[in-house]
Chain A
Amino acid sequence: MNCQQFWNTLPQRGSEITEEHSGHLAACSACAGQWEPQKALAAGLHSLLEDWRQREAPERVEAGLTAAFRVHSGPQVRRPVRHSWFPPVFAWTSAAAAMVTIALVLMHGWHPASARPDRFAAPHRPAQNMPVVASVADSDSDDESSVLDDGFVRLPNAARLEPNEAYDFVTVAFPGSYMIALGLPLNEDRASDTVLAKVALGADGTARALRLVADGETF
């Protein structure tokens, strides 16, 4: 083995050098002289590796990503399976359900007070001026009070928002398409953009609700 072969075939880790390499080092003082600092450097880099092995991303990154996952998978999980016979069945069922609903309204009268709140937005505050969280989940949230600001949308499958619960907020970047899937008011031209959303984390660390971060808003 000559010097060039020695350096060209040197294993990635110095500790794995073969007998042939060791033989060359014993015979060639020039290569041996260059090899010593390389060994010291490799040991130093290994110490740096060990020193940094426990360094990890802060926990808020996991919380934000979990929230993003829920936003992403929520609408997807509820997406209906498409079969070739599905559209006509769906159309007829919807029509029948609409007719029954209209018939019931005509028979019993319309009671606006019992209507569910608007699905995606909280356009007005209740009488006691409490902030409101809108919900996209099919939930029993008619009487759900909240400690969050207006404009938050409850995530699909997220736990109820308890009035006395402490919340943490993280800001997360999402693809705009997820926001549109949730029904948030976002221009479709921005579907491929990354948008910022503020996510409310419950006391158990799970994401509960989110809202878009307005342009110029600090966080």
Chain B
Amino acid sequence: MIEGSMAQYSSQTDDDLLIRLRNGDEQAFVALYRRRQGAIYRFALHMSGSASAAEDITQEVFLALLREQCGYDSERGTLSGYLFGIARKLVLRNLERGRADVPLETDADEIAPRELAVIDDPLAGLTRNEAIEALRRSVQALPRRYREVVVLCDLEEMDYAEAAIVLGCPIGTVRSRMHRARALLLEKLNQDRKPRLAVDAWKPMRYAI
């Protein structure tokens, strides 16, 4: 019955649901939560690498909506972008606490991209699950500023313009970070692949011994 009554909310915009929830409509709040929580949770999970941190962040993001002075302005962007913006701040706070930080943070926006890898398919020879896991680890290992553009634009299919609003930077910066992020990802995947090939090469010798 609850699901049935929730159906009437599915056609409403995020802003409509926000108005309703501000007027005390619990189902509007639940509908908005169910519509947006997955993306926020995945973003937090990719960024933090911790399920418990992602859970906390998701909860905090939607709690912010309940505050009367939550700061959302529909003139400045979408509600989805606003939620991602809060999630990003919470992720940064989480990373600063050192609970799930990642290495290799560099000031590389100013560094010219290195030559891209020459291997045509860095995931070739891996099963689908192996390839996905290798890629997930590589995304996780990216410096934070590159990781967030990959997660937003590639893994949550956000367009560059909206990502620029969430990240508070010009669209050109998003584009250049994306370019650099992909180069770093390819580099990382190729680095991971070389030892694997070496291990594969040793196997017949080990069996022979």
CB distance from B171 to the nearest CB of A (A): 11
* B104 proximal to A (CB < 8 A): no
* A24 proximal to B (CB < 8 A): no
Structural contact, B63 and A65, CB atoms closer than 8 A: yes
* B24 proximal to A (CB < 8 A): yes
What string of 1s and 0s marks CB contacts (under 8 Å) between A58-86 and chain B? 10011011101110110011000000000
Contact residue among A44, A53, A65, A68 (Cβ-Cβ distance under 8 Å from B135): A44
Give the complex CA separation of A73 and B21 in angstroms.
Answer: 9
* B3 proximal to A (CB < 8 A): no
Structural contact, B55 and A57, CB atoms closer than 8 A: yes
Q: Give the chain B neighbours of A61 by CB distance below 8 A.
A: 37, 55, 58-59
Give the complex CA separation of A175 and B175 in angstroms.
Answer: 38
Structural contact, A57 and B58, CB atoms closer than 8 A: yes
* B92 proximal to A (CB < 8 A): no
Which secondary structure dominates chain A's binding surface? helix
* B186 proximal to A (CB < 8 A): yes
Q: Give the chain B neighbours of A48 by CB distance below 8 A.
A: 132, 135-136, 139, 155
Structural contact, A45 and B135, CB atoms closer than 8 A: yes
* B128 proximal to A (CB < 8 A): yes
* A114 proximal to B (CB < 8 A): no
* B67 proximal to A (CB < 8 A): yes
Smallest CB gap from B159: residue in A: A12
Structural contact, A73 and B24, CB atoms closer than 8 A: yes
Give the complex CA separation of A53 and B41 in angstroms.
Answer: 11
Structural contact, B160 and A55, CB atoms closer than 8 A: no
* B121 proximal to A (CB < 8 A): yes
Smallest CB gap from B54: residue in A: A57
Structural contact, B120 and A37, CB atoms closer than 8 A: yes
Whether A45 touches B59, Cβ cut-off 8 Å, given contacts A36-B120, A57-B54, A72-B66, is: no
Structural contact, A77 and B116, CB atoms closer than 8 A: no
Contact residue among A41, A53, A65, A68 (Cβ-Cβ distance under 8 Å from B122): A41
Structural contact, A55 and B55, CB atoms closer than 8 A: no
* A26 proximal to B (CB < 8 A): no
What string of 1s and 0s marks CB contacts (under 8 Å) between A17-51 and chain B? 00000000000000001101110111011111101
CB distance from A1 to the nearest CB of B (A): 17
Structural contact, A66 and B30, CB atoms closer than 8 A: yes
Structural contact, B116 and A38, CB atoms closer than 8 A: yes
Structural contact, A33 and B131, CB atoms closer than 8 A: no
Structural contact, B122 and A173, CB atoms closer than 8 A: no
Structural contact, B136 and A37, CB atoms closer than 8 A: no
Give the complex CA separation of A175 and B38 in angstroms.
Answer: 24
Structural contact, A56 and B38, CB atoms closer than 8 A: yes
Give the complex CA separation of A55 and B24 in angstroms.
Answer: 29
Structural contact, A47 and B131, CB atoms closer than 8 A: yes
CB distance from A51 to the nearest CB of B (A): 5
Give the complex CA separation of A46 and B120 in angstroms.
Answer: 17
CB distance from A40 to the nearest CB of B (A): 4
Structural contact, B63 and A49, CB atoms closer than 8 A: no
Q: Which of A33, A41, A49, A173 has the most CB of B within 10 A?
A: A41
* B141 proximal to A (CB < 8 A): no
Structural contact, B179 and A7, CB atoms closer than 8 A: yes
Structural contact, B155 and A70, CB atoms closer than 8 A: no
* B95 proximal to A (CB < 8 A): no
Question: Contacts A49-B154, A51-B132 given; 12 further ones with Cβ under 8 A?
Answer: A12-B160, A40-B120, A40-B123, A44-B122, A45-B154, A45-B155, A47-B128, A47-B131, A49-B155, A52-B42, A55-B45, A173-B56
Give me 22 A-to-B residue pairs in the complex whose CB atoms sit less than 8 angstroms apart, sorted by A's number: A33-B118, A36-B120, A37-B117, A37-B119, A37-B122, A41-B123, A47-B132, A47-B135, A48-B155, A49-B155, A52-B42, A55-B45, A57-B54, A57-B58, A61-B59, A62-B30, A62-B34, A65-B59, A66-B26, A66-B30, A173-B59, A173-B60
> Which 8 A-B pairs have CB atoms at the shortest separation, nearest pair first?
A40-B121, A57-B41, A73-B24, A45-B154, A57-B58, A36-B120, A56-B38, A34-B116
